[in-house]
Amino acid sequence: LSHPQFSLLPNTSGVRTAREAVFAAQLAREALETNWLKLEIHPDPKYLLPDPVETLKAAEELVKLGFVVLPYVHADPVLCKRLEEVGVAAVMPLGSPIGSNKGLLTKEFLEIIIQQSRVPVVVDAGLGAPSHAAAALELGAAAVLVNTAIAVAGQPVAMAQAFRLAVEAGRLAYEARLAAPTPHAEAVASSPLTAFLD
């Protein structure tokens, strides 16, 4: 299970409570010799929506136990701030439900989370197209986590490359400072309109 270029990231997906998550994390640390952990607690197997109460409880305990905690959560700015306060290494709010491929349905909440966060924000879940990933990076997200859109694509390797390029473009656009949208529907010229008279 070891490779010089890759590190495995244990995941608690499948657990339903904070207690189960802590137990799974300790098993993973013993087996894989890593303190890094993606924390997922979703008691409902149909929708796989994260449990905010149990996630916060587990995160607090896991940080005390020395884990580097990366929690998958709803795009809830208050919850993300609380998780930051207990010491998580990043927050991973969902763009839309897992596997839905619907993109950034939570965009306005993601903007608040990114604006107030002092830890990296990784948009996780629901990203179905490279354009969704680019949009997340344009908002200022540190990264995205994509699974279904690549795994079920007709050409997964090509789709992974498309997502990589989209992430690079989105980050570059964020760093270049996107032009703000105009508050009205009228066109606003950015080029001089009298040059042709000279």
Q: Is residue 139 a contact partner of residue 111, using CB atoms and an 8 Å limit?
A: yes
d(CA 176, CA 156): 30
Q: Which of 38, 64, 102, 107 is catalytic?
A: 38
38 counts as catalytic: yes
Q: Angle 156-176/130-139 helices, nearest 10 degrees?
A: 20
How many separate helices (H) and strands (E) can be counted in the chain?
Answer: 7, 5
**Cβ contacts of 15 within 8 Å, gap of 6 or more:** 21, 23, 24, 40, 41
Q: Phi and psi of 186, rounded to 5°?
A: -75, 150
CA quadruple 59, 61, 62, 64: dihedral sign: positive
DSSP state letter for 3 = B
Catalytic residues: 38
